Chains A and B, each alone.
Chain A
Amino acid sequence: MDYKPGDEADFERLYRTSYNRVLGTLMGVLGDRAAAEDCTQEAFVRAYRTWKDWRGDAPAEAWVHRIAINTAISHQRYERMREVGQVLRRIGRPTPPPDPASLAERSDLFKALRKLPPKQAAAIVLRHHHGYTNREIGAALGVPERTVASRLAAAKENLRRALGHEPKSGPQIEVGTFSEDSVPCD
């Protein structure tokens, strides 16, 4: 699709065509629909403010994805800090029950995705749900196209381990939090 940087109508078109896909990617990264919606809205506001500076060297939707993923990463960092504070405040009190509304929160795959580094989780959703090419994924993650394949392989390997899809002979590894370095990818 052709977009003109800075054009209001084109931005609205971009918003309409890519909102749900960006939301889906952020649900994969954050594992929480409400947080994903907040970050998606925030990402589009940020994108709007820099829309006139969009160069067109990357597809517009991948560019919005990049902004959205960075927004989600910032959100995750903030949430982790907040969770520590909440845990400290909650000591000695009963734990509130989990919100049953969100399907993503109950899905093993989404639980596992949440344990991955955000960019690996995003790469999985972009490739296996949105069908993005390596070039588009590279633009969305802010990495060179040639490193996308190895990053995807690393993400899948971490996911396989998190879900217990090890080869039959291998040991079952408990779900933990992976770092970008869990599996070499670049």
Chain B
Amino acid sequence: MSDFDREIERELNRILGPVDSASIPAWRTPASGGFMKRLLGGTGAAIAAKLATGFAVAALAAAGAGVMTEVATTGSLNPNVWGQQVKQTVATCKTTLRASGVRGIGPCVSAFAKQHGEQVSDSHQASNARNGHGKGQNNSNGHGQPSDKTHGKPSTVPPSH
């Protein structure tokens, strides 16, 4: 062994000697990551979060659009007013029909639904035209039809006789 070798060993021992006898950090078994865990914990989690955020934003936008439509057609910000309007219209219609000998509120509800559908359709068309989305007649599908089951049957309507 040459002097140079001895010098290397001496210097290595001076620096690394304390390291050899230093305390060792406790071994902690790393969490085993299966395929699903990696999928859900890594990129999958990020994608899921983005999807959830996207759905939430879309739902909020849809709700906002619905509110804007109702505000536009009833002229009021209060949701109670929207139901009240239906109630009043149907009640007036019923009184008129009764006077002419017709019973039931079916024709009244149909008439209101038709009128409401047209208003909503017009509102959507105007909104789409403003936003430059066009094809408003496609968006009115189902709103202007008297037979539309999603419109014209407010829960506040009194039961028919």
Chain A interfacial positions (CB closer than 8 Å to B): 8, 11-12, 15-16, 19-21, 23-24, 27-28, 33, 41, 44-45, 48-49, 103-104, 107-110, 124-125, 128-129, 156, 159-160, 165
Contacts and interface: CB of A to CB of B under 8 A. Distances in A.
Contacts of B27: 11-12, 15-16, 44
Interface of B: 4-5, 8-9, 11-16, 19-22, 24-25, 27, 29-30
Given A41-B25, A128-B8, A24 B16 contact: yes
Nearest to B30: A45
B130 to A, nearest CB: 48
B30 A20 contact: no
A109 B19 contact: no
A148 B64 CA distance: 74
B77 to A, nearest CB: 54
B12 A49 contact: no
B8 A21 contact: no
B54 to A, nearest CB: 35
B20 A48 contact: no
B46 to A, nearest CB: 23
Nearest to A105: B15
A159 B7 CA distance: 12
B12 A109 contact: yes
A107 B20 contact: no
A108 B12 CA distance: 11
Given A28-B12, A107-B14, A125-B16, 17 more contacts: A8-B29, A12-B27, A20-B19, A20-B20, A20-B21, A23-B19, A23-B22, A27-B15, A28-B16, A33-B19, A103-B15, A109-B11, A124-B8, A128-B9, A129-B12, A156-B8, A160-B4
